[in-house]
Amino acid sequence: MDMNEIKEIFFQECEEQLAELESGLLKMNDGDRDSETVNAVFRAVHSIKGGAGAFGLEDLVAFAHVFETTLDCVRSNKLEPGQDVMKVMLKSADVLADLTNAARDGVGVDPSRSAGLVKELEALANGQPVPSSSEAPRPAPKAAPAPVAAVADDGGFQPIPFSFEGFSDDAEEEAPGFDVSFKPRSDLYAKGNDAALLLRDLSRIGEMTIHCNMDDLPTLADMDPEAAYFHWKISIKTDKGEEGIRSVFEFAEWDCELTVAAQKKDEPAADESLPMVPVPFDLSALGDDDVKEASEDELHAAVTQAVNAAETASSVLKAADAASKREKKESPAAAAAAASAAAAQNGGAAGQTIRVDLDRVDRLINLVGELVINQAMLSQSVIENDNNGTSSINMGLEELQQLTREIQDSVMAIRAQPVKPVFQRMSRIVREVADMVGKSIRLITEGENTEVDKTVIDKLAEPLTHMIRNAVDHGIETPEKREAAGKNPEGTVKLTARHRSGRIVIELADDGAGINRDRVRQKAIENDLIPADANLTDEEVDNLIFMPGFSTADKISDISGRGVGMDVVKRSIQALGGRISISSRPGQGSVFTMSLPLTLAVLDGMVVTVAGQTLVVPLTAIVETLQPEAKNIHSFGANQRLISIRNSFCPLVDVGRILSFRASQANPMDGVALLVESEGGGQRALMVDAIQGQRQVVIKSLEANYTYVPGIAAATILGDGRVALILDVDAVVAASRGQSLKQEMSLAVAG
């Protein structure tokens, strides 16, 4: 693995750490004071700093060091994380993310961007009030060098220089003593760390004696080769203090139990009375000059030899003890069962993950899609040539169909990811825009673990960003206006995600003033978007904000006023095969609801015939199928018809007439009605000529391979090799309400 690959892995892990940091800070901002939450936040910054140090990313290390120091004050209860403190912390997380991205992209960073925050963080760490932004910022201090090996260009490791200042024979006073307890966990070794190396580094900062505790070592038969059984008690005299001792274990602190306590004068070291096996490694026998001249390899070999000697001696003792106990002789079958149970327990402790190139997953999904098509073709061919349907080939095809479906579901699950990363990104947008417009706004998120196809997640960030900025700038009132209206001065924006009917539904709600319909209508008239005498319903007025060029801003700013935003949102959602609707109440706020497909690759559909054409209607849009009867069909207006369904009336829509497949309306009694439900359009009964059956179909983009067709969302290939069009239910329903099918321009795969 070359340096570029290692660096790429580091930045991938940084993304995970930054997400963990953002999540933890938001919990703390909401009042969570759990120590594990604070520790998780500290660990995230600490890990980024450590990796950045290995690659020489000085700007990132310097800022992370100051950020980490302030977080350590919170962790040790020296700093109370109030609202002012958390505001600085959240801004620092944003800057840390920017510095990480800049380091990844290889671009320079303006030091003034972080200098002000460095000053605020230092003030908080020193127990001082946060300085005002008007004061001149000072440059960030350089971080102390990280006690880790530096990665060389050839993939090897270079020795790290250590300072031996303070180890002088002429010292007037004896260095203070400390008792150190060091107990590694198995994770320490799993991550490539070595207890011997840590003990070697510790020996470099002072004179020490070590005792190894082997009480936890099991019998040879019960020993787990990947477990950690030893721990050490160390007595060390050093003028580096507790901070110097802890810096040795800085990158292993989370994978071990470490305590450091200062020795009181005239008291023996804590380890002198411990019933432990002394490690035959004593630096006190060496002079200071010897310590300085000893090579790193020699020190490493000495410590390793000492530790191995202790482990070997203990293993022999334990093995002898186990041999004596085996006189009781349990049966081989019982021993095998116990070993199997232990292996199962260890294996099920935690799931394992691997990183896979997304292109490989996409290729696999495309191949599965082709497999679905070929399986359908094969089934169709067998059905046409097997009249009785009982042949062994037919039975085998049924099993193939089931296996194909399971494979397809499993492959789709690989691409399924939670929406949490996108939701977390929105919290930064809220903070930045709220600061720009002088508002106090809190973002609440729910359903962050709701999973959806990664393609949908990647394309969801842009429309959500537009909507968040719009809600903060236009939806939420200023604190003064909110107080005058009897509201909390702090506004609330709520972002939720959930699964419903085979789709993902994302809602963005605010408790602001709602849509001012009179103003929206007036602005639309001024911009020549609607005629002055247009008679519009409240829903139609609300939807004017999605028209190109519409804006209610009085002046152009960095946030709004250019007439670009909600139009982009609608087109982006439609391009994902989704739809968006608005629900607004004046004085109480607005709710924007987006309904998106879980995947853009495969869907379950009902294959139907309309005027000799084969169409696929997404199954999730269909409520039920009906066989119309003459007594249930009623005329309405000049050419509208209704169908009576359980004492209620539903508009009957001739799909062939809407799509211009035929010039006149068909007789409802000669076809089948599909009761469908669409966002914002209520229920409609779509009239088709016949139903061919239910199939799983692979979605093929019609626009990418041909051109846009109004009322059609995409295309697919059926089992007989024919191309079938996938109906855009939303566009058809909108056209039935009088809207132009061409103006609708919906690419939605309804359902």
> What are 687-696's pLDDT values in tens digits?
999 998 888 7
pLDDT at 337: 41
How far is 687 from 681, CA to CA, in rounded Å? 17
pLDDT at 740: 53
CA-based nearest residue to 736, from 661, 678, 662, 658: 658
Taking domain 3-151, whether its CATH number is 1.20.120.160 is answered by yes
Neighbours of 449 (CB within 10 A): 11
How far is 349 from 357, CA to CA, in rounded Å? 26
pLDDT in tens, 416-472: 788 888 888 888 888 888 888 888 888 999 998 888 888 788 788 888 888 888 888
Q: Which residues pair with 651 in a beta bridge?
A: 642
Token pair, residue 658, equals 């809407």
3-state secondary structure 210-262: EEEECCCCCCHHHCCCCCCCCEEEEEEECCCHHHHHHHHCCCCHHHEEEEEEE
CA 119 to chain centre: 31
How far is 95 from 31, CA to CA, in rounded Å? 23
3-state secondary structure 721-737: CCEEEEECHHHHHHHHC
pLDDT at 508: 92
How far is 715 from 706, CA to CA, in rounded Å? 10
The SS3 of residue 637 is: coil
615 in Cβ contact with 727 (< 8 Å): yes
CA-based nearest residue to 159, from 118, 201, 96: 201
Q: Which residues contact 404 (CB under 8 A, 6 or more apart)?
A: 368, 371, 372, 375
- Consecutive H or E run containing 603: strand 602-610
The SS3 of residue 746 is: coil
- Consecutive H or E run containing 685: strand 682-688
Q: Which residues contact 289 (CB under 8 A, 6 or more apart)?
A: none
pLDDT at 268: 54
pLDDT at 507: 92
How far is 59 from 111, CA to CA, in rounded Å? 8
Q: How many helices (H) and strands (E) does the chain have?
A: 23, 25
CA 519 to chain centre: 39
CA-based nearest residue to 467, from 555, 567, 550: 567
Q: Which fold has domain 419-597?
A: Heat Shock Protein 90 (3.30.565)
Strand order in the sheet with 682-688: 622-626, 672-678, 682-688, 648-654, 640-645, 633-636
Token pair, residue 208, equals 């020490």
User: Which residue stretches of the chain have pLDDT < 50?
Assistant: 133-172, 270-350, 556, 561-564, 743-751
Domain borders along the chain are 3-151, 173-324, 358-417, 419-597, 602-744
pLDDT at 634: 86
The SS3 of residue 97 is: helix
- Residue 144 per-residue DSSP state: P
CATH architecture of the domain covering 602-744: Roll (2.30)
**Which amino acid, residue 191?**
K
Neighbours of 267 (CB within 10 A): 10
Q: Side-chain half-sphere of 598: how many Cα atoms within 13 Å? A: 23
Question: What does residue 99 show for φ and ψ, rounded to 5 degrees?
Answer: -65, -40
- Residue 614 per-residue DSSP state: E
750 in Cβ contact with 744 (< 8 Å): no
How far is 597 from 600, CA to CA, in rounded Å? 7
- Residue 683 per-residue DSSP state: E
Token pair, residue 137, equals 């910022």
Q: pTM of this prediction?
A: 0.54
Angle 120-125-127 (CA atoms, 0-180°, nearest 5)? Answer: 95
Q: Which residues contact 95 (CB under 8 A, 6 or more apart)?
A: 63, 113, 114, 117
